[in-house]
Amino acid sequence: MLDPSSSPQGAGPSTGTRRYSRRRLLGYGASAMALAGLPGLARAVTNYKGLDVIVVGAGLSGLHAACLLQEQGLNVLTLEGRNRIGGRVYTLMDVPGRPEAGGEWMGANYARMIDTARRLGLEMLGPDEVSDIREWCYRIRGEYILAADWPDHPLNPMQGDDRQVLPNRMLFTLSHKNNPLSGQPLDAWIRPEFARFDIPQTQYLKEYLGFNEETIRLMNVVIHTDHMDNTSALHEMRRYAVGEFSARLAESRPDLPAWRQIKGGNSRLPEAMAASLENPVELNKTVYAFEDSGGEVTAHCMDGTRYTARQVICSMPYPVLRKVKFAPRLPQRMERAIEEIDYGTSIQVHFLLRKRFWEIDEMPASMWTDEPFERFGVHRRGPNGEATSAVAFINGNEAYKYDLMNDEQVVEFTVRALERARPSLKGALEPIGIQSCHREVHGGGDWVFWRPGQVGRFAGQMREAHGNIHFAGEHTALLERGMEGAFESGERAAVDALLRV
């Protein structure tokens, strides 16, 4: 997310797994999770000679699980398919200003994540200190519109007070009206009484909230799923309910920033977590099969190596898990969930800036548009808020067409579209890279989402273990979403594995 206020939640990274001192290790060890005193633990630690648990995936969920289990004295090894730590948390360390190319903003509700960062001695910054994108201009149906002109603009399709809502805030603000999940516990979205909202989001916006076609079209531009027709309204309601929870917490602590990032880049957090592990994370270990003998599980890696432990925690996203073999086979219902559940798509094209193009046309540098590049944001992460780099950030339905282009074509297409829309950009853009989890073998997409009907079919059962294999990852979180959801899921899977060791 480029702008935390528009969301309910918001090259060459270090791949090393630097080991921390025992003191640092104990820092994680003091964590809030109440694992101590669970049955069988002492026996497991003292009697078992090999690995107790293998964690697959060194994203936030896997690392949190590994750290918590180590804290309980277990012998844990983490296998990671990529050549870096962090998964969908990925700071572009070599780009000026170190922009985030993955998980970006922590809300006030990110208790586990904030707690972990503090324990590992990492500082956090609020939006003002990050000095990132603040002001947008809008380009809709080929016309530039300034924020101040939007409420009275003829292209504004909304009625009454809604006309004040800026285009980049429409999806969040308008969808949240009369949210049936508002004020409910965070797990209410899977309760049967709300199943009637497991319908297409577009249908809900029309039938329940009465929005017109153009309002819905604009709400559908920057969407963290696929397309509103293919998104369950219940999924979106849950998103807004979690956002509301976060906002309430933020209001109760006005002395703290409502949104945070890790100083120096969010990747520092998973890297510090990995560094606190006694067994260094094994990188470039892509697991392609699990064999559960009943007493132990073997994980088979693409490089021919095998690792065996009593329990496994698997944090791979579903699009990757589709290609992984399980013996014995997964239950049919689980196989169907893995096959059918999808992740929101996005692609980012990053640029250095050769000139201050906004001084030529005297408009805000960043643009929110209904053009093929959707959002173009200028990061202002220099010491005095100077522009450091820029990104074209395409989400959802529009991002799919980029699947049919190679990287060069993506850059060429994006630059052409940007220059056509804003002539002052001619000669201003120096492309430096593309980032898309969706395009990566170990990724599959940004965030999990549910299509109409899928909440009822799958959301209740995604946390079930398969023999000695436990599933983590933000897609299995029940309460929180995104990075905090990853932490929640890692904690739950760690408890499940601990109870079985």
Residue ranges in contact with ligand FAD by CB under 6 A: 1, 9-10, 56-62, 79-82, 87-89, 102-105, 285-287, 315-317, 320, 346, 437, 442, 446-447, 473-474, 482-484, 486
> Alpha-carbon dihedral of residues 159, 162, 165, 168, nearest 10 degrees?
-70
* Nearer Cβ to ligand FAD (7/75): 7
DSSP 74: -
Three-state DSSP at 397 gives helix
* Nearer Cβ to ligand FAD (315/369): 315
CB of 251 to ligand FAD, least distance (A): 19
CB of 107 to ligand FAD, least distance (A): 7
Helix (H) / strand (E) containing 367: strand 366-369
Backbone dihedral region for residue 36 (phi beyond 0: left; psi -120 to 50: alpha; all else: beta): beta
Bridge pairing between strands 375-379 and 469-471: unpaired
* Nearer Cβ to ligand FAD (79/262): 79
CB of 211 to ligand FAD, least distance (A): 26
d(CA 368, CA 149) in angstroms, rounded, equals 15
CB of 25 to ligand FAD, least distance (A): 21
Q: Round the CA-based radius of gyration of the chain to a whole number and report it.
A: 23
CB of 486 to ligand FAD, least distance (A): 3
Q: What is the DSSP string of 284-336?
A: S--EEEEEE-SS-EEEEETTS-EEEEEEEEE---HHHHTT-EEESPPPHHHHH
CB of 110 to ligand FAD, least distance (A): 7
CB of 346 to ligand FAD, least distance (A): 5
CB of 324 to ligand FAD, least distance (A): 6
Sheet holding 346-353, edge to edge: 143-146, 136-140, 366-369, 375-379, 389-395, 346-353, 429-435
If one counts every other C-beta atom within 10 angstroms of the C-beta of residue 235, the result is: 24
Measured in whole angstroms, how far is the alpha carbon of residue 195 from the centre of its chain? 25
CB of 68 to ligand FAD, least distance (A): 14
* Nearer Cβ to ligand FAD (56/76): 56
Helix (H) / strand (E) containing 214: helix 213-219
CB of 40 to ligand FAD, least distance (A): 27
* Nearer Cβ to ligand FAD (215/435): 435
* Nearer Cβ to ligand FAD (253/325): 325
* Nearer Cβ to ligand FAD (127/200): 127
d(CA 317, CA 449) in angstroms, rounded, equals 12
- Which residues lie below 8 Å from residue 429, measured CB to CB, with a gap of 6+? 351, 352, 353, 354, 390, 415, 418, 419
- Cis check for the bond before 154: say yes or no (omega within 30 of 0): no
CB of 146 to ligand FAD, least distance (A): 26
If one counts every other C-beta atom within 10 angstroms of the C-beta of residue 237, the result is: 25
Roughly how many angstroms between the first and final C-alpha of the chain, as a whole number? 39
Helices (H), 5-40: 22-29
* Nearer Cβ to ligand FAD (202/315): 315
* Nearer Cβ to ligand FAD (217/263): 263
* Nearer Cβ to ligand FAD (422/438): 438
d(CA 268, CA 282) in angstroms, rounded, equals 18
* Nearer Cβ to ligand FAD (139/438): 438
